[in-house]
Chain A
Amino acid sequence: MDAATCSAGGVCTSDSTSFEDLAIYGTTAVVAMGLSTILAMQLDGVSRWFLSPTSLLAKRRREYRYAVEQGSEYTALMIRQHVGGGKGLYDPKTESVVWAKIGSSDTEEMDTLLSEIMDSKKATPVIVAIEQDLEDDNNPNDYHLFLAFPPANAGVSTPAAPNLYQKVRVPLIAFCERLAKAFKDQMTSTALCFVADASSGLGAEMLTDVVKDCNHGVVSCLVLRSIDYFAKWNIYYIV
């Protein structure tokens, strides 16, 4: 029991820890230990001691998924910032109003957009994101394709620096079906080469970097006698 000291005025003070205090300290210690245990369990090194191999793999896979999703969201945010004018200009609060929204039933608008994309004299839009629009009351679960058109004065190529792009949101499946048809109908002489990797990115990075470096190293100028002769080799002319 606590030893209490009473003064002449009748006020008593405890000179040792009261039972209530002990309970509070005890509870705090237990909570802290519990939290520490939970936190420690999150550490992979600790999990390896306590969890069965199957549970450990399941836990790790949940962590992998979370990391990939977070990475993907962050990249999408960076792209939005880039097409929104860069760090200085981009305001995330205006996101809901700056996107022109085309719905599945707006077939005419989709066709107009499509003809604009297929126009080889105009810059082609960049793919900003493929996302659901949770603020869309009608179809919050449907996936949308977010496209951004570079400024008209930037030429046909995609500008490297951030800029204010024109933004449009279209239904993913409906629009891609139209886009695929348009590309199937269009003749192209451009081939595609897909690099799949199983080397933690070493091989793919090496090849793409080498290809990029080659490009810079081989630009040369020639005097031509006959345009027709060289035209079959797709040589570019600057007159």
Chain B
Amino acid sequence: MRCIYTHTQATISNPAWMTTLALIVSKNTQKITTQQFETIIFALCRLDAFRVRESVGVSRTVLFALPGQACVPRLLPLIQKVFVHERHLFVYDGCCHSVEYGLGLIKKYGSSYRQKASKEEWELVSETPTVISATIPMAPLRHIRALPGTLANLNSSQASIVEAWMASVDMFLDMKSKEKKNFYTPFVCRAGFLMKRSGIGNGDGSDVSGLALKNVLEFISGSKSRALPEEVLKAAQTSLKRKRSEFEDAIQSNKLTPDEKILIEKSVFTHKSILIGEKTLLDTVQPKEDWSLKAAKKLKSCMCCLEPGQGDDEDESDDDGEGEGESTENARSETDQSNAGKSKYVDGKAQFAFDPTMFSK
């Protein structure tokens, strides 16, 4: 008797029907309700997953890649609502790197949507062209007064990628801010770790790409508690290495000038919650053996010294959902200033640090 030990995950990349659905959600001329959209997306995702049931392998997972950053604002809230208990992964990169990669796609495929005339394989035919789903915003950003002025300084390709990227991150932040209501706790994956970049937000320069890859594969396959087979990790690392050099070439050949970077950062900076440069998004999973979906909170003081209701206040401030670390720090410093009058340290002279009545004589 022989067996084939497969560690496969079926993958469905950029399905064209999802792009169509995102367009219908945008227009919605037929007044389809949100609940009906949720039903449609549930039924069709399950149908597509059922279609590939033969290749789900030992991890029994179907990996759906949403069609690019363009569709995220329209589809992610619906998908999160109906698949609240399934795994969600949000992979992001810095805006400038995203623009460089997007420009590489436009250079490679052209702006024409007719890029796949020669492909005759189902998996390729049924995909939305990446050059469209990655570089063109489908859901315009909510109104930001200064944004049109800053985007006008960029050329059309750069502006479209910046807007698509911002819309996607904006939706992520919006959903994170309502985390307690929508239970959105994705694996927030920073592409910089996988791309072996170093610097602020990407680690101290040591190579953590292998660990980051292991972490994300453990999440995708749902095998955090079980070690992934050595062969799987080796194959993944070889593949990552190959892809990394391919992607790095695409980025290098479309490097932005320092002036262009400044203009892009100005556009991004008009959004109050998205910070520029190499800052990390909220709850980015740090590459570790024992990784966590939630970033550990810094303790301001020990719990026994918290005044009544103070813990609740902290929870409420989480609801406001500052997008990134620095914003949270600012909010924290403001809170600290407002509480400056009330010291959280125990004053040994004024009162006991413990309840003396609790001690037996």
**Residues in chain A within 8 A of chain B (CB atoms):** 44-45, 48, 53-54, 56-57, 60-61, 63-65, 67-72, 74-76, 78-79, 82, 86-87, 117, 120, 123-127, 129-131, 141-143, 145, 156-162, 172-173, 176-177, 179-180, 183, 188-224, 227, 230, 233-239
B229 partner residues in chain A, CB cutoff 8 A: 218
CA distance A69 to B116 in the complex (A): 16
- The contact of A237 among B3, B63, B243, by CB within 8 Å, is B3
**What's the nearest-Cβ distance from chain A to residue B323, in Å?**
12
Chain B residue with Cβ nearest A87:
B120
CA distance A11 to B69 in the complex (A): 75
Contacts A57-B151, A159-B122, A217-B236 known; 20 new A-B pairs at CB < 8 A: A60-B159, A61-B140, A67-B113, A71-B129, A74-B113, A75-B129, A124-B51, A130-B21, A176-B36, A176-B39, A191-B62, A194-B66, A196-B72, A197-B134, A197-B168, A206-B240, A207-B189, A218-B229, A218-B232, A221-B3
A44 partner residues in chain B, CB cutoff 8 A: 155-156
Chain A residue with Cβ nearest B45:
A192
Could you tell me which residues of chain B, from 120 to 172, have a CB within 8 Å of some CB in chain A?
Answer: 120-123, 125-130, 132-138, 140, 147-149, 151-152, 155-156, 159-161, 164-165, 168-169, 172
Confirm or deny: B199 has a beta carbon within 8 angstroms of a beta carbon on chain A. Answer: no
Confirm or deny: B29 has a beta carbon within 8 angstroms of a beta carbon on chain A. Answer: yes
* B239 in contact with A209 (CB, 8 Å): yes
**Residues in chain B within 8 A of chain A (CB atoms):** 1-9, 11, 13, 15-17, 19-21, 23-24, 29-30, 32, 36, 39-40, 42-66, 68-70, 72, 76, 79, 83, 86-93, 97-99, 101-102, 105, 111, 113-114, 116-117, 119-123, 125-130, 132-138, 140, 147-149, 151-152, 155-156, 159-161, 164-165, 168-169, 172, 186, 189, 191, 194-195, 213, 216-217, 219-220, 222, 229, 231-232, 234-236, 238-240, 243-244, 247
- The contact of A78 among B6, B46, B125, by CB within 8 Å, is B125
- The contact of A64 among B129, B130, B137, by CB within 8 Å, is B137
**What's the nearest-Cβ distance from chain B to residue A185, in Å?**
11
A72 partner residues in chain B, CB cutoff 8 A: 16, 19-20, 23, 128
Chain A residue with Cβ nearest B13:
A208
CA distance A57 to B153 in the complex (A): 11
CA distance A155 to B21 in the complex (A): 29
* A206 in contact with B247 (CB, 8 Å): yes
- The contact of A82 among B13, B15, B125, by CB within 8 Å, is B125
Q: A71-B132, A207-B216 are in contact. Are A214 and B148 (CB under 8 A)?
A: no
**What's the nearest-Cβ distance from chain B to residue A82, in Å?**
5
CA distance A176 to B235 in the complex (A): 39
Q: Which of A57, A68, A161 has the most chain B CB within a 10 Å cutoff?
A: A68
B24 partner residues in chain A, CB cutoff 8 A: 130, 143
* B136 in contact with A64 (CB, 8 Å): yes
